[in-house]
Structure 1
């Protein structure tokens, strides 16, 4: 999962190249950073009423929490990151079914 903000998709995953697992790519193109991902669908969440500076500070805080080596497919994945980010910017959780086991 990822969250599109101002024309960028923000997400989290494990990377051998970067300490932070938080990354921003063109929407629906996460596989350019994380080859095993693919776009499935979009869900409209809400509007953002936050300055870019506030957003940058929030993403820096989350990047410290969501380091590349902290990624765990069950306990600390892109869905957990996206839920934290969504809660911080619009006060809503992502739909529960997004992070349920297949």
Structure 2
């Protein structure tokens, strides 16, 4: 018999899903779709917490925690299962603390170090899997240009 597992059963199995939550950065994304120029914001969701990266003027971390699928100022588009991790909440937080050394608020750059770069590094660190390449397409175009 097939049945849905409750979240407590999933956690007990030691295999916790890691999602990439993707947001539209601008209202023009609907129109830019046809040009292949959509701009996205993203966050990594694990253990009921979403981790994201943003800019500020200080040399402290730009990584922050948010309510999943509710990043203020952006329109939620979709959630993508990237993989699973055996890490508990404390271990996940340690991964984020390690990443905070590289992802400081005053080093944010739209093309070379943005929220999608952070999410890719976080997903690789948690699951071994990268985020889909289309999420950070605009940065790759900027690097080539």
TM-score normalised by structure 1 residue count = 0.86
- Displacement of 1:51 after TM fit? 2.6
- State the distance in 1 between where 2:81 and 2:116 align: 16
Structure 1 range deviating more: 45-54 or 61-70: 45-54
Is it true that 1:52 corresponds to 2:89 in the alignment? yes
Query: What residue in structure 2 maps to residue 15 of structure 1?
Result: 56
Structure with more contact order per residue of length (Cα contacts < 8 Å, sep ≥ 6): 1
- State the distance in 2 between where 1:3 and 1:30 align: 11
* Structure with the bigger percentage of strand: 2
TM-score normalised by structure 2 residue count = 0.62
- Displacement of 1:18 after TM fit? 8.3
Change in 2 beyond 3 A, CA 1:41/1:18 = farther
What is the DSSP-based 3-state SS (H/G/I as helix, E as strand, rest coil) of the residue aligned with 1:47? strand
**Deviating 4+ runs (over 3 angstroms):** none
Is it true that 1:2 corresponds to 2:43 in the alignment? yes
Give the CA RMSD over aligned residues.
1.8
What are the equivalent positions in structure 2 for 1:21-100 lying under 5 Å apart? 21-31=62-72, 35=73, 37-100=74-137
- State the distance in 2 between where 1:38 and 1:87 align: 25
- State the distance in 2 between where 1:17 and 1:9 align: 22
1:43-64 CA-partner distances (Å, limit 9, x unpaired):
1111111133322221111111
Does the aligned pair in 1 maintain the 2:63–2:103 contact within 8 Å?
A: yes
Q: Could you say which structure has the larger radius of gyration?
A: 2
Structure 2: where are the runs of 5+ without partners? 1-41
